[in-house]
Amino acid sequence: MPEGTEDRVVRVDVVDHVATVTFDRPPVNAVNVMALLAIRDAFRSLNDNRDVRVAIFTAAGDRAFMGGADLGSVGERPDPAVDTPVFQLDSGRVAREAMWAVTDCAVPVIGAINGPAIGAGVAFAACCDILVAAESASFGTLEINVGLLGASSQLSLLVGRHKAREMFFLGEKVPAAEMYRLGAVREVVPRDKLMSVAGEIAATLASKSPIALRLAKESMNRVEHMPLKEAYRTEQDYTARLLTYEDSAEARQAYLEKRPPEWKWR
């Protein structure tokens, strides 16, 4: 049975081992403090749910995946329930925790980019593991145009050093087709096909060992910025860990017997 959790701006639905996290803050899905907290909590909630093997991160509507920061709320305080001394001393912590909740989500995250990803939208897209985009989608770090600075470090993960600097300094939007050419996006599709294409990728991932998926995600996150020798040694250690699970042996046996594997989470 589908599971669902409701928040003011974020909905999480789990069906067939796929969690779909939908951001919905009209009119253009701009983020404020409370929206960032909701995104953070939504992705953190997936980590201990054994029924979840993969997540899709998308947004409602056609106007934007995420329209950047809500300019009317820049510098705002959250409600009193979360207005803590930690926040007062480090107001950027909320955004970091929301982004790292996506990056560090225990399962692979597919970003289904339904429209323009602006500012924070680019950063959140970069935090995903695989991206598919609607033909109408675009990617832009426009902060310099409105007196702000953004997340060039995440942008560099998507497009490389020089393209990131070009986009960051010029404050221009890059269409999804160009992001596909650069290798950042797996596929560009008509808007009405976006969720079905993301769902097909998610279903393929969900058919794999949930233990292997989680260990692979953790391993890749850990080695991403390591020197080569340390990185490969770390990956070998993760492979050794995976071999201690029954599901690892089941993967090989099912492959040899040409049958679907039966995952037992042990």
173 and 49 part of one domain = yes
Contact 55, 43 (CB under 8 A): yes
By mean pLDDT, which of 16-20, 159-163, 196-200 is the weakest? Answer: 159-163
Q: Where residue 226 falls among pLDDT bands split at 50, 70, 90?
A: very high
Residue 73 confidence (pLDDT): 63
Q: Is this model's pTM higher than 0.85 or not? A: yes
Q: Is pLDDT of 210 > 50? A: yes
Greater confidence (218 vs 3) lies with: 218
Total structural domains in the chain?
2
CATH code (residue 81): 3.90.226.10
Q: Where residue 69 falls among pLDDT bands split at 50, 70, 90?
A: confident
Phi, psi of 201 (to 5 degrees): -65, -45
Average pLDDT over residues 226-230: 97
Of 193, 215, 187, nearest in space to 110 by CA: 187
214 and 119 part of one domain = no
CATH code (residue 215): 1.10.12
In a domain, 264, yes or no: no
Orientation angle between helical segments 120-127 and 152-159, nearest 10 degrees: 50
Average pLDDT over residues 63-72: 86
Q: Which domain holds residue 61?
A: 3-206
CA distance to 16, 24, 33, 151, 239, per residue, from 71 (Å): 38, 17, 12, 16, 46
In a domain, 79, yes or no: yes
Question: Mean pLDDT score of the chain, rounded to an integer?
Answer: 91
57 and 167 part of one domain = yes
Residue 7 confidence (pLDDT): 52
Residue 149 confidence (pLDDT): 84
Q: Is pLDDT of 2 > 50? A: no
